[in-house]
Amino acid sequence: MIIRCTQKLLKELRIKPAEPEVISDVGSWHANLLRIDRRKCVLFTHDMTLFSLFVAGLKRPDFEHIPTGHKFRLSRLR
């Protein structure tokens, strides 16, 4: 599974982008950091189907789990 993040989200996650080893459109997602009423939210969108998953009200500790925790949830949606 590949999650392509915006620069804002990468900065919040405190990680550097990496080139994917295998490019697959089936498991490819985009993620964007949004702020709504001063709350941090992440919008995940599947590249092929445009199915979107909105995660609202995230705090600093929650961002530490996005690279691992949400990857599992996104893979179960397929």
How confident is the model over 35-78, as pLDDT tens digits? Answer: 999 999 999 999 999 999 898 888 888 887 776 555 445 555 54
Q: Which residue has the higher pLDDT, 31 or 19?
A: 31
Amino acid at 23: I
pLDDT for the residue numbered 73: 59
- 11 pLDDT exceeds 70? yes
The yes-or-no verdict on residue 2 having pLDDT over 90 is: no
14 dihedral zone (left: phi>0; alpha: psi -120 to 50; beta): left
For residue 72, the model assigns a pLDDT of 46
**Whether the predicted model's global pTM rises above the 0.85 cut:** no
Pairing status of strand 39-46 against strand 52-58? antiparallel
Compute, in degrees rounded to 10, the torsion defined by CA atoms 16, 22, 70, 63.
Answer: 0
